[in-house]
């Protein structure tokens, strides 16, 4: 039978887990390189850019720099999103709404 007290406890537990999830992800760093390492972009686990490294040889070639930056940003953003999805699924796997 459904117990509203269990639902309230479950939501409280979910809120705690979401805060822990956000805090943990903010400290994770994901990095992607493009152009054989000429450009390197790092994002934290919540998708904020925390570092960009550009090889000096690209400073004279704006078009190549733009292309390599776009590639690195897209790659690292995909990694962050995949981590968020995996972490969310792992977290939600710990909650069973139909526990007795």
Q: Is the dihedral of CA 63, 61, 59, 67 positive or negative?
A: positive
User: Quick one: what percent of the chain has pLDDT higher than 70?
Assistant: 87
Integer Cα distance of 26 and 87 in angstroms: 13
Q: Report the topology of domain 4-92.
A: Ybab; Chain: A; (3.30.1310)
Residue 100 is predicted with a pLDDT of 46
- For the chain, give the number of residues: 100
Residue 60 CB coordination number (10 Å): 8
- The answer to whether residues 30 and 45 touch, using CB atoms and an 8 Å cutoff, is yes
Beta bridge partners of 51: 42
| 0.75 exceeded by pTM | no
pLDDT in tens, 38-80: 999 999 998 999 999 999 999 999 999 999 999 999 999 999 9
pLDDT above 80 for 92: no
Give the pLDDT band (50/70/90) at residue 82.
Answer: very high
């Amino acid at each position: 039978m459904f117990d509203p007290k269990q639902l309230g406890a479950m939501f409280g537990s979910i809120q705690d887990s979401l805060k822990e999830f956000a805090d943990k992800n903010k400290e994770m760093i994901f990095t992607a390189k493009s152009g054989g390492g000429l450009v390197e972009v790092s994002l934290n686990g919540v998708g904020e850019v925390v570092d960009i490294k550009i090889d000096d040889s690209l400073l004279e070639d704006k078009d190549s720099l733009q292309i390599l930056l776009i590639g690195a940003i897209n790659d690292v953003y995909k990694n962050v999103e995949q981590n968020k999805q995996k972490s969310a699924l792992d977290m939600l796997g710990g909650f069973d709404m139909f526990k007795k």
